[in-house]
Structure 1
């Protein structure tokens, strides 16, 4: 009987042991402490590494790089998970970090470190610099990211509304922080806040505590060996239940830009079952030795000076001077504020292999575009060389170029920065592997784009134009919207590029430019007469672009019959005849959505109305394309409106465009008179 009872109890005992094992495993998964990282199996990505003394080095002095380190196992956060320890989203963590600038003489660098809770350890498409290796221009701000972060940002970014100087910020799916503050801590013994500098190279400790019951997040900063202050630096109400998924990874993400710093984590403690365990400062690894004696520093200054003098009075010294001349740039005092937006000519020269012809992507207007690979990051870029003969207005022009570098939209080509050298300006853009849209529309050697691809491109570029006109901090008039300035990324998403002719002005004010610029065939009649570009002149050009996308032909075709030369007029006449679908690109072979094609053709005609007031606004245009409003049945029996041509137009009346499209697709000026006398339908 006793033996039988024992046998019967074995399954119960095994079940108990299994439950106990699960509880222990759950405890291990939900809390850990690393006093240094020797022997740990952190998941490292980018340039992150664990040094021999156990120091986690996220970034080094390499430009435009990402460094990440994650706890290798996912943690359970969502309430729906079966968790023997806790069904709460609460968590607690603290870590010791240090940011060491690349140069003592230039304390700026970074960009920074972010403690991160992410659904994946591999963040697809994430970018360095201001994105901290978490997002890029297209993904920043998307609710589908499901990313929570606390950033230690050393370089403020205006596009994210960041405060000047370093700061600590709370981020949810977006690097525009919910709340941020300059680095400081509450000194309990003095009863007040004391400021800190993130980039001194001194180790500091950060505590992050989230209480799910009252939805409060506290972030506390202090020097490494200080007790945790009684008051947090940041305390805000935030509901993470819609952000954190069932399975999430915790770790760190960091990045550098044109300015760099070495960014370290010395120790890290994390818990989901109460307060994180305190770190043992005596066990933390030491940072690399930074201090240098005064005599050593003096020697480091004197010896190179002697060497330079020696070089300059010898033949090799002459060769050195010639080499320096090769990379000589123009940089004035006012440009220092642009910081990371400035590239060195030496880097761009090496990136393009000396601007070799085989790296040439295209030329036109007053610039040539080269493919390049930045030596510091292996990032592919497009480098545009633009001639400029005068320094007059250069400060204003460069300021606008840098301002446009802050534009962020998934359907815009990102302007990364610039360089000035002698008589030229160099602009650095994202590289678009599929080149410009016009090649796919007009070249028989390229694959034909389906209607679905074309319509997707059209909607994307329209949303980018709305962003420029209404949604950014200033109004941006592009002034050169056309198919050759629409670039296609690796996934054939359309991106509007070439901001070389764009102008900025404040919302509510009027643009003051009175110079006709753009490409013949896309210039609105009022722009040709007055030289004043507006959002409506961009709408006109976009209307022409819609028609060339749907019809597969250029805005002007002088070799055709007279009634077909001007694309907008030809489509308008077909509309009046009830045969507008006859304008559809023959290469589509009828494979399109009829309602969409008809809507695009009609909307294109309405956008090219010669009277600016009769054109739809940018927002109305986007609403039509998104299907949010229906295109009204416009009567077309009204008389056509003649516009008197501008006489004696010469090429000097136009500024050349700078084609990010890598190839110019302009049409000769002899047909300009017909362009500005477009006889489109009245409304």
Structure 2
């Protein structure tokens, strides 16, 4: 038996193995492990969100700036001891480039693999992007080799003719082996890139989403990494500027590399060494090895069966006999075992936490069997009855919806007294982070794209599905942004289904967020499509003005700032553009801005009967007019008690039977 086990160990050593490197920095908010900053690079940290500024100082002969962000441990790119196998890798990152002024362009940034350890080039210049020296045509020495994908914003003499903005693949020279010219000013603002290297084909490829585009720019070239680079490399980003000042930021970075290692060939014996005794010994060893392997396989199967039964018992917490929800199976959401979600989040590790709310927390996860990155909402273990109700509602409603502007529910789990929901991972977090936090600055075209996406989601929910879905909690923190900054509405915990013929549903108590909640809902407790339209109008004004709906004023008179009232007052004085977000620096289309604000006020009208449907609002937004005619002063809501009908019932001014107060509005003279 001992000899058989020894043979088994030898066999296992001969099996092929793989070396992997994997890390994911969703933000750079804290002292990030394994990240080194070189040159002028510095972390810009505030609150829970942070990024890295690659070009923040002046340290080049030209008066420009050069900086690097490097993953500190060496990365095994290829291995000469196993036949020279080369790794495959994929990296995804979000970044931004912003000139200090419209006349300042140059020079750009790059993702690189370089000789380890990473060293800043001596006498570098802006045009070299922090990759090499000022001698652009000179191949680096053996200790300074690099392969890079550049995002260049300035045409130098060695660059291809065409536009300033271009992407390129560089192999030991800043003169690219392959380039793709882009329209000028493409490489400005927020971008997401995916770079992939396939070791079988030796193809290095780039996909770049820029300026909110849904279609990526592509670039690829065959690159022999084994001849271009040493076995161990440093991976990271570099950026540089010349006399013109340009800001380069890295917001997130995900990297995965796999190096398949062939097994050792062992000792090869000559034909003369083969004998009858060797054959017999080999047969005996083989039989023993087979017995050991069979025993191990049976033991593993028995253990797995026992663990599976134990997990099923632990995860079946519907002891009351009432299923938590019924969902059609097939292509829709599925129930996940609890242990799968625990493993996907590294046991709900703190570094995987994406956010925290009153319901619990949201974690980043990776489902290996699906090859999918996900966001997992974990309700607090002591969730109240209302919390469980929201959990059920969210599964019931969103599991049946399919729209490009809705966050997709992938699955759920209710095991070990835990409530968990699994969503697609939306990489650019919520709109709230970028409007009021430390996220990416949103340009006006990006903001227009976001509000139109939100409007399309509501149009689907209100009018295009089999029932009217009232969301009841529309606000920037529930509007997620994908890699191209397209809007995806999420969090359906308060949503309700209403038949189209009914139109209104009375709630036991009003739910929503102050500032976004329809004032009538607070009084009547009624949920309707019109109450969602009100919230949509507030979000439109918030996106255009860059201010929260309710906040303390800048002065000290202790009165609350109310966004709708403020914008309506400016509208009445013919100065609505004064409400535009100052951070836009007047870089917007005035007609378009006025349209968004007018529609926002229209939707946020105090009287729900004066509000447009979401279809009518979207028609104006998409055509940029004609604008609605609104009173110069914001109507004042007056809540009157319901009148008694001739039959003795309480009825509203619209003739609808009601036991609640009725809203009417008057316009001040």
Higher strand share: 2
TM-score range, shorter chain: 0.3 to 0.5
| TM-score, structure 1 as length reference | 0.46
